[in-house]
Amino acid sequence: MSQDWHPGIFDGGHTLSPESQSANLGSKLHVWCDEPDAVTEQQIAADIAAPLRDLAHLAWSGCR
């Protein structure tokens, strides 16, 4: 994840206005399984562990 990321940044570089920041209820990570049998759930969990940890840290603390 980018050092500049925060919960008010969206795809394409769009950001929430300062007035809208308080209405943002959180962040989430989506996992799309276009080929569900390609890897196991355990492999997916291992693959997203670090990005998910970073997302949680940045979403809660706002720093890396």
Looking at the structure of the chain, the number of domains it has is 1
Q: Provide the percentage of residues in the chain whose pLDDT is more than 90.
A: 31
- 43 is written with which tokens? 């492999």
Answer whether residue 3 is part of any domain: no
Answer whether residue 50 is part of any domain: yes
CA–CA distance, 12 with 58 (Å, rounded to integer): 19
Answer whether residue 39 is part of any domain: yes
pLDDT at 64 over 50: no
pLDDT of residue 62: 58
pLDDT of residue 1: 67
Answer whether residue 28 is part of any domain: yes
pTM of the model: 0.66
CA-wise closest residue to 51 among 40, 38, 64: 64
Answer whether residue 1 is part of any domain: no
3-state secondary structure of 50: helix
pLDDT tens readout for residues 23-40: 888 888 889 989 989 999
Q: How many CB atoms lie within 10 A of CB 56?
A: 12
Q: Which domain holds residue 39?
A: 11-61
